[in-house]
Amino acid sequence: MEKKKVSLSKKDVLKAFWKWTFFSHSNYNYERLQASGILQSMSHVPEKLYPDNPEEQKKFMKRHMAFYNTEPHFGGIINGMVLAMEEEKASGADIDDEAINSVKTGLMGPMAGIGDTLWQGTLQPIALAIGVSIASGGNVLGALVFAVIMCAVMFPIAYFMYMKGYTTGKSGVEAILSGGKMKQLIQAASIMGATVLGSLTANYVSATSNMKIKVGASELALQTDVLDKLLKGGVPLALTLLTLYLLKNRQMKSTTVMIILVLIGLVLGAAGILG
């Protein structure tokens, strides 16, 4: 006997989307990372799909407590796809627990790579550059402009990806990942992100040297007469590269790196090397 077709309403899907958008990192932990977040986003779904079956509701919740971690905005396409699979499963489709979890674990890495590159590596730095440029002039609207840009870009992207996953399912995501254009887009975004970060470094990382070197009867200013002749902005660039090295290669915490930079500034400042 075939199961009755179970369908989630548009309201149910939207509710899952908004809960994921705002609570993707709820109870974020190093054992399961975003598992609590995705389950929280779909906490209203088990009763909709299995209204008179508490055992299936428990199985649903247990399924989505498996380890899960992806970029929330672009990775929402996986959540939408999984929601569609759960809907089909409740309607009698031959979809087991392993299939659903395999889709999540198989796609969360690639989508995280895409999302981190396009969002954190490109869109966010651009919005930050605009906000910082306004705030650096003493205008408190800089932070507000940054927040408005982030929301104006984030919500449409997150909504589109989530709904695309729900409507197209697994085949749609596989088609996106297998296309060569996505790889080209990521490469272009990486270049743009690096350019933006380089511009931020040149404009907002300030470090100069007041040290003077005596050469006979004359003096040479270390900064203007020597360093700037070799490489304009070399000192700020060196500090930026040191920060990158400590964060990326040495895997230090950001707070530790900040303390190291403060100590460098204090020591070299007291010695008259940096001013």
Q: In this predicted structure, what is the pLDDT of residue 2? A: 52
Residue type, 246: L
Tell me what pLDDT residue 1 has.
Answer: 46
pLDDT of the chain, 275 residues: tens digit per residue:
455 778 889 999 999 999 999 999 988 888 889 999 999 999 999 999 999 899 999 999 999 998 899 999 999 999 998 998 898 888 887 878 888 888 888 888 888 888 888 887 788 888 888 888 888 888 888 889 999 999 999 999 999 999 988 988 656 555 555 556 556 655 665 666 567 667 767 777 777 777 777 777 777 777 777 777 787 777 888 888 898 889 888 888 888 999 999 998 889 888 877 76
For tokens 């970029």, name the residue: 71
pLDDT at 128: 85
**CA 120 to centroid of chain Cα atoms:** 4
pLDDT in the model for residue 126 = 85
Per this entry, what is the length of the chain? 275
pLDDT of residue 144: 92
Distances 55 to 2, 60, 61, 102 between C-alpha atoms, Å: 19, 9, 10, 22
Instruction: Give 17's contacts (C-beta < 8 A, 6+ positions apart).
Output: 41, 76, 79, 80, 158, 159, 162, 163
pLDDT of residue 34: 93
Phi-psi region of 28 (alpha: psi -120 to 50; beta: other; left: phi over 0): beta
